[in-house]
């Protein structure tokens, strides 16, 4: 892997051993990154969608707590 | 088995009316009619993450998210144009070049907008679109590629690095108006960066060197995209 970045590498690679605590889920065909609060509940961190109107959906605002079917 | 509706905290219950009436009763308002946008937008922020998952303190854009989105945009007849918004610090060469190549090969009109920063591997992505914009205060850092990890000190290492660098330079030169010689000169410039060699281009500088097409913001970018969409429709007819 070659990293081509303007950021010092020690900043990028710091904490390489730490665990990634967020989870990706899909609701209504929208991929979301959530911070799990329970097996079926999570706080929305970010939305992965190219449709700008999805971001206007009040139910999907980052910070909202959302229920999902655990996989 | 309890089935939860996707959006609400409550389990689905037959006594609760369907959403529009429910919303009218509870909030005193109707749901707005759903509009559809013919322009889709991809934001490429933070580090561009490729073959290796970066540590969690990095904000990353993952290529496995972006690539299927680009394929879907190219295929969906309802989507007529793509706006790419960049505020990236760089990242994996392979992932960045892959994204740049896909964007460049799309048949739908694409416009990119560099906000904040479009550094290192963000440069090829910014120039991959049909037309590129940079905000007045946005910056682009052009600097050489570095090797990470174990480096075997043989001439071949240097040649390999040079080859990787040429991939980036070739792509940028082919997709923008900058001359190869100028781009190389900016890349190996000394005295600009404290910890590295290279150049920082601020807004209008990027346009002056021919790297980016125009200085502008969201309004200008959307207007240009709509113009490209109209021109494409005319060509098809």
> Is residue A50 in a domain?
yes
> Can B112 be counted among the known catalytic residues?
no
Residue B132 a catalytic site member: no
What pLDDT does residue B193 have?
78
Please name every residue paired with B82 in a beta bridge, in sequence order, or none if there are none.
B40, B110
Instruction: Give the separation between CA B29 and CA B146, rounded to whole angstroms.
Output: 57
At B6 the pLDDT is: 52
Specify if A11 maps to a domain.
no
- Nearest-by-CA chain A residue for B78: A51
Estimate the share of chain A in helix, then strand, then coil, as percent rounded to the nearest 5: 20, 35, 45
Lookup: tokens for B133: 């914009």
Q: Residue B15: pLDDT above 70?
A: no
Q: What part of B 199-228 touches A (C-beta under 8 Å)?
A: none
pLDDT digits (tens, 9 = 90+) for B43-55: 999 999 988 888 8
What would the pLDDT profile of B92-109 be if each residue is shown by its tens digit?
999 999 999 999 999 999
The answer, yes or no, to whether residue B72 has pLDDT greater than 90, is yes
B18 pLDDT band, cuts 50/70/90, is: low
B14 pLDDT tier (thresholds 50, 70, 90): low
Please report whether residue A48 resides in a domain. Answer: yes
B175 contact A CB<8A? no
Please check the confidence at residue A6 and state whether its pLDDT lies above 80: yes
pTM, to two decimals: 0.82
As a whole number, the mean pLDDT across chain B is: 87
Per-window interface: B 81-100 vs A, CB < 8 A = 82, 89-94, 96
Q: Which residue of A has its CA nearest to B121?
A: A4
Closest CA relative to residue B43, chosen from B25, B17, B69: B69
| Domain membership flag for residue A40 | yes
Q: What is the pLDDT, as a whole number, of residue B30? A: 64
For residue A10, is it within any domain? Answer: no
pLDDT one-digit tens code per residue, A22-37? 888 998 888 999 999 9
Number of domains forming the structure of chain A: 1
| Contact predicate B137/B201, CB 8 Å | no
Tell me: ipTM over 0.90: no
Tokens encoding B102: 């896909």
Go through the domains of chain B in sequence order and give each one's CATH number.
Answer: 40-236 (3.90.226.10)
A29 lies in some domain: yes
Q: Domain range spanning residue A42?
A: 20-67
Q: Which residues of B touch A68 (CB under 8 A)?
A: 4, 6
């Amino acid at each position: 892997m070659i990293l081509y970045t303007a950021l010092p590498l020690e900043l990028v690679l710091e904490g390489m051993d730490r665990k990634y605590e967020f989870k990706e889920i899909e609701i209504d065909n929208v991929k979301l990154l959530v911070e799990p609060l329970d097996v079926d509940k999570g706080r929305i961190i970010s939305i992965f969608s190219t449709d700008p109107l999805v971001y206007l959906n009040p139910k999907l605002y980052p910070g909202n707590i959302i229920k999902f079917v655990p996989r | 088995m309890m089935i939860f509706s996707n959006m609400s905290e409550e389990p689905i219950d037959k006594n609760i009316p369907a959403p529009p009436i429910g919303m009218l009763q509870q909030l005193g308002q109707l749901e707005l009619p759903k509009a559809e946008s013919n322009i889709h937008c991809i934001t490429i922020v933070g580090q561009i993450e490729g073959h290796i998952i970066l540590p969690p303190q990095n904000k990353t854009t993952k290529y496995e998210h972006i690539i299927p989105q680009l394929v879907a945009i190219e295929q969906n007849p309802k989507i007529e144009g793509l706006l790419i918004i960049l505020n990236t610090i760089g990242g994996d060469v392979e992932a960045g070049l892959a994204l740049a190549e896909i964007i460049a090969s799309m048949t739908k009109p694409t416009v990119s907008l560099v906000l904040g920063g479009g550094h290192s591997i963000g440069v090829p992505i910014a120039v991959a679109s049909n037309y590129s914009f940079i905000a007045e205060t946005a910056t682009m850092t052009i600097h050489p590629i570095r090797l990470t990890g174990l480096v075997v000190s043989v001439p071949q290492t240097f040649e390999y690095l040079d080859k990787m660098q040429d991939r980036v330079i070739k792509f940028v030169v082919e997709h923008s108006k900058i001359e190869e010689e100028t781009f190389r000169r900016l890349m190996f410039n000394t005295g600009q960066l404290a910890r590295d060699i290279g150049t920082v281009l601020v807004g209008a500088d990027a346009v002056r060197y021919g790297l980016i097409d125009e200085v502008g913001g969201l309004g200008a970018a959307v207007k240009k995209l709509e113009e490209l969409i109209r021109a494409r429709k005319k060509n098809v007819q």
